[in-house]
Structures are given as structure tokens and as C-alpha cells.
Amino acid sequence: MKISIMLAVVTAFIVGVSSFSQVVIGQESDQKAAEVDPFEGDGLDEMPKMVEVYIEMIEVSALEYAEMMSEPIVNDHTAMRGELIKQVKEGKAKLVANQSVVLRPGTKTAVASVTEFIYETEYEPAEYIAPEAVKATTGKNVIERYPVTPPTPTAFDVRNVGLTIEAEAILSRDGKTIDLNVSPELVKHVGNTVMGTWKTAFSESVTKMPVFYTFSVETAVSLKNGQFMKLCTHTPDIDGKPDHSREVIVFVKASVLQLAK
């Protein structure tokens, strides 16, 4: 009888401990679940990020640029760019072009604002007729072959006229530094070169080839998040010829875009 009572007490004690343990464990799990926020702390850092690449071209006098270069050289040109924007607003400088593109780190992308300029590259030779055929057709006496059909275009090419940017960005682990491969290209159609003129009794034809003025650079830089950097300079043109009295300063800025919660 005593043995049975003792066994019953022990069994009840074990069941009670087990139930208590389940309650405590359940309370701790609920408490931890309530404390964890996937959008706080390290959780936000692990969310995907994007990079915006911004290219800007500002034209100034060569003397103004020379004075800028007399200042101490720094990696951050945000202040220099700010002063040039003030000059643009005052009419002392010119904003030539600006363009931006957003990309995922580690990928290549391109953006273009261009006009497709189509031009001839190959021609069929002009056709001629014999002197007697010219006399029979026009009544004119000639001693040489007479052209009746000017050179005819048979092949064409396309040139993008405008601004094109190719970029690739690699983001550091802390998201503060961007390694940037960037290739801006600015192409202008500045005129045509006359390659030949053909006149016949029936028509007149002029063969021309286009003249392009091109600025392009392909480089790789490292810069801080949101920082402007002077990428390079180039000489603008006047009627297709370099104007060494002016300089176009090319700035680049890379900014990390954090996805919202």
C-alpha cells in the first residue's frame, strides 16, 4: 500500500515537471519571436542594394580650369562641382550633358540618348555611254565617255550621335565604397566632306561622307558613396575643329540605393 502511494506521488511529480518545462520553453520561444525584427540591425544590411551612376559634363574656359588645377589635389571633387554649378546658373559655364543609370552591383549596363545617323560607305561606279550615243540623245559632240548614272550607294553604316554611357559597379561589403568601370562617349555630327561631284545631261550628284567629333574615355575608379569625382577633361569643338580655349570637365558620382522596408 505504501509502495503504491509513493509511485503515484513520483509519477505526478514527473508529469508536473514535464508540463512546467513545456510552458517555460513555449514562453521563451514566444518572447524571442517577438524580439526578432528582420528589418532591424544586420537584417537590413543583408537586403539587396542598387547603385546609381551619374555622369555630368560642364564646359568652362581653359584659364578657369587651369586655376582649378592650381588648388591642392583631392579625391573628392564635390565642392569643385558645386562651384561650377553656380557658374552655370550665372551663365559663366555651360552644362553640356548629364545622364544617370541605376544598376545592380556586379552587372554591366548601358544607357544612350542618341540619333541613329545612317550614311553611305560603298558605291557602284558611275555608268558611261559612248560619244555617239551622247550625240544621238543630246545632240552634243563629245570625244570622251559621258557619265549618265552617278555612283550609286550599295552599303551603309550607322553611327549613334549623342551620349552613351556603359557602366559596371562593384560594391564593398560595408556599402561605403564603389569600384566603378565607366565608359562615357559623346558623338557629334559636325559636317560633311565632299568626295566627288558628277554632272550629266540629266542630273547632278554629290557624294559626301559625314564628319564626326567624338569624345570617349574608358576608365576604372574607386569612390565613396555619394561622392563626386572628376573623371577627365576633353577639348570641345568649333565647327568640327578642337577649341583649345575651352575645356569640358567630366564628373562621375556613384550612390548606393538601399531598398526600403
Least trusted range by pLDDT, from 74-88, 115-129, 135-149, 203-217: 135-149
- 53-97 pLDDT, tens digit each: 999 999 999 999 999 888 887 778 999 999 999 999 999 999 999
- 16-34 pLDDT, tens digit each: 444 444 443 344 444 444 4
- Would you state the pLDDT for residue 253? 96
- Would you state the pLDDT for residue 206? 85
pLDDT value at 252 more than 90: yes
CA atoms within a 13 Å half-sphere pointing along the CA-CB vector of 162: 13
pLDDT band at residue 102 using 50, 70 and 90 as cut-offs: very high
- 206-224 pLDDT, tens digit each: 888 999 999 999 999 999 9
- Dig out the grid coordinates for 109 from the structure: 549596363
Q: Domain map of the chain by residue range?
A: 1-36, 52-258
- Would you state the pLDDT for residue 107? 92
Per the prediction, the chain carries an average pLDDT of: 80
pTM over 0.75: no
